[in-house]
Amino acid sequence: MKKALEITLGIVTSVGGFLEIGSLATAAQAGAQFGFQLTWAIALGTVCLIFLVEMSGRFSAVSHHTVVDAMRERFGFDFFLIPLVFVGLVTLLVLIAELGGVCLALQLVTGLAFPWFALPVGFAVWLLLWKGTFGVIEEGVSLLGLVTVCFLVAVFWLHAPLRDVAAGLIPSRPAHDRAQYWFIAVSILGASISPYLFYFYSSGAIEDRWDESHLNTNRMVATLGMTFGGVLSAAVLVVAAIVFEPRNIRIERYDQIALILTEPFGWWGFVLFAISLGIACLGAALEITLALTYMVSQGFGWMWGKNARPRDAARFTAMYTSIVIVATLFVLTGLEPLKLTVLSMALTAATLPIAVVPFLVLMNDEHYVGDHGNSWVGNTIVLLITALAFVLAVVSLPLEIAGS
C-alpha cells in the first residue's frame, strides 16, 4: 500500500515538473504554426526523458550516489567543470524563464507588467525553499499543478480530430518556414529532455533512501509520470493547433497564448490558463533552483538537502539564495520572456550531449551500477535522440538567430 502511495505521489510530483513554461511555449508555437505536424517531437522527447529519468533513479538506488557525485568521482574535477558550467548556465536561463512565467501569470490576472512581480515572486520561491518542509510544498504544488489537466479536457471539448493528431506522430516536411519548423522541433526536444530533471530526480532518490527494492517503483514513476507530462504537452499543441492555426495567428507574445483556452472555456479558460502557467512555473522554479544547488553542492562535497535546516547546510543555503537573487534580477530587467524561453530550450538541446554522454558512461560502469547497467536498447535510444537534438540545435540555432 505504501509503495502504491509512493508511486502515485511520484507520478504527481513528476507531472508538476514537466509541464512548465518551456513545454507550454514551444507546444503552443508548434501548434499555432504547424498544426499537428510537430507531435512527433513531443513524443520523441518524452520517450528519451522516460529512459533518462528511469536510468537516473536506477543509478542512485543501486550505487547510492547521485549522478553529480559520480560524475565528479569518476571523471575528475577538471572534466566535471564542463558540464557544471555549461549545463549550469543554460539551466539558469531556464530558471529565469520560469520565474518570468510566474510573473506573467500574475500579469495576466492583474494587468500589471510582469517585472513588477519579479521581487515578490523571487522572494516567495526563496521563502518556500528556506522553510524547507519540502515534502508538503512539493506535493502541494504538484497537486495544484494538476490544474494543467484542463488542456487535456480542452482537447476533447474541442473534438480534436485524433486521427490527424496521430498522423503528426510521424515526422513530415513542413509546407512553409522550414527553418522555423526545425527550430521549434529542437526547442521542443530541449523542453522535454531537460538535464535538471534527471539530476533532480537522482538527488530525490538518494534523499528518499532508495535501494534495489525501489527499482520497480522507479520504473513506474518514470514511465507513467513522464508519459502523463508528455500527453499534457501534446494537449497544449493540439489545442493551439485548433484555436490558432486556422486563424493564422503567429505566437509572438504570451498574452496571445493566454487566449488558448478561451475558445473552449470562455472567460474561465483565461483564468485556467493563468493559474496553470503560474503554478506549473512555480513548481519548475523550485525544482530547477534545487537542481542547480545540488549540482554545485554535490560537486564540491558540501552538506546538501532540501529538508536540511539552513544553519546545518550554510553553503547549500547560500547557494540557492544567490541563484534565486541572480535569476530574479534578470527577470527584473524585463527580458522578453517568450523569446528567452524558446531560446533557452534550444540551448538545452545543444548542450544535451555534455549532460547525457558522461551519464550514459556511468550507467554502463559496473563499479557503480553492478548488474543493473543499461541494456543496449536504452543506450541506443538515448544516444540517438541526444545526437538528433544536438545536430538539429547546431544547425537551426544560428539560422534562427540570423533570421530574427
Partner 1 sequence: MHLGRDILDHQLLDRRKRKMGRVDGVVLELTPGKPPRVTHLEVGGVTLAHRVHHRLGQWLARRGRRPYRIPWGRVRDVGIDVLVEVDAEQTPAYTWERWLREKVIARIPGS
Partner 2 sequence: MNQRREVNVESLFGKRVVDRDGRPVGRIEEVVAIREGTTCVVTSYLLGTMGLLGRLAAWRVARPLLYSVRGGGRHATRIPWEKLDLGDPAHPRLTCTRDELDGSR
Given the rule CB under 8 A, which residues bind partner 2? 74-76, 78-79, 82, 357-358, 361, 364-365
300 binds, among partner 1, partner 2, none (CB under 5 to 8 A by kind): partner 1
Nearer to partner 2, 145 or 358 (CB): 358
Alpha carbon 136 to its chain's center: 21
Q: How far is the CB of 293 from partner 2 (least distance, A)?
A: 24
358 binds, among partner 2, partner 1, none (CB under 5 to 8 A by kind): partner 2
Report whether 45 contacts 192 (CB < 8 A).
Answer: yes
Q: How far is the CB of 276 from partner 2 (least distance, A)?
A: 41
Q: How far is the CB of 354 from partner 1 (least distance, A)?
A: 17
Nearer to partner 1, 318 or 394 (CB): 318
Q: How far is the CB of 358 from partner 2 (least distance, A)?
A: 7
Nearer to partner 1, 74 or 339 (CB): 74
Listed in sequence order, the residues at least 6 apart from 267 whose beta carbon sits closer than 8 Å to its beta carbon are: none
Rounded distance between C-alpha atoms, residue 249 and residue 255, angstroms: 12
219 binds, among partner 1, partner 2, none (CB under 5 to 8 A by kind): none
**Closest to 37 measured CA to CA, from 172, 158, 232:** 172
> Which grid coordinates belong to 199?
539530476
Nearer to partner 2, 88 or 358 (CB): 358
263 binds, among partner 1, partner 2, none (CB under 5 to 8 A by kind): none
Rounded distance between C-alpha atoms, residue 74 and residue 382, angstroms: 21
Q: How far is the CB of 353 from partner 2 (least distance, A)?
A: 11
Report whether 193 contacts 52 (CB < 8 A).
Answer: yes
Rounded distance between C-alpha atoms, residue 54 and residue 64, angstroms: 15
Report whether 190 contacts 348 (CB < 8 A).
Answer: yes
314 binds, among partner 2, partner 1, none (CB under 5 to 8 A by kind): partner 1
Q: How far is the CB of 172 from partner 1 (least distance, A)?
A: 47
Nearer to partner 2, 208 or 365 (CB): 365
In three-state form (DSSP H/G/I as H, E/B as E, the rest C), the secondary structure along 366-395 is HHHHHHHCCCHHHHHHHHHHHHHHHHHHHH
310 binds, among partner 1, partner 2, none (CB under 5 to 8 A by kind): partner 1
Rounded distance between C-alpha atoms, residue 261 and residue 359, angstroms: 39
**Closest to 338 measured CA to CA, from 26, 121, 91:** 26
64 binds, among partner 2, partner 1, none (CB under 5 to 8 A by kind): partner 1
Rounded distance between C-alpha atoms, residue 15 and residue 256, angstroms: 25
335 binds, among partner 1, partner 2, none (CB under 5 to 8 A by kind): none
Q: How far is the CB of 79 from partner 1 (least distance, A)?
A: 10
φ, ψ (nearest 5 deg) of residue 46: -65, -45
Rounded distance between C-alpha atoms, residue 393 and residue 185, angstroms: 9
Q: How many C-beta neighbours within 10 Å does residue 247 have?
A: 7
Distance spanning both ends of the chain, measured CA to CA: 54
Nearer to partner 2, 78 or 371 (CB): 78
Q: How far is the CB of 31 from partner 2 (least distance, A)?
A: 39
Residue type, 109: V
Q: How far is the CB of 299 from partner 2 (least distance, A)?
A: 15
398 binds, among partner 1, partner 2, none (CB under 5 to 8 A by kind): none
Nearer to partner 2, 139 or 365 (CB): 365
317 binds, among partner 1, partner 2, none (CB under 5 to 8 A by kind): partner 1
Nearer to partner 1, 76 or 120 (CB): 76
Interacting residue ranges for partner 1, rule: CB under 8 A: 64-65, 69, 72-73, 76-78, 80-81, 130-131, 300-304, 309-311, 314-315, 317-318
Rounded distance between C-alpha atoms, residue 8 and residue 183, angstroms: 35
Nearer to partner 2, 245 or 365 (CB): 365
Q: What angle do CA 26, 51, 347 make, to 5 degrees?
A: 35
Nearer to partner 1, 73 or 245 (CB): 73
Q: How far is the CB of 364 from partner 2 (least distance, A)?
A: 8
φ, ψ (nearest 5 deg) of residue 65: -125, 155
Q: How many C-beta neighbours within 10 Å does residue 113 have?
A: 11
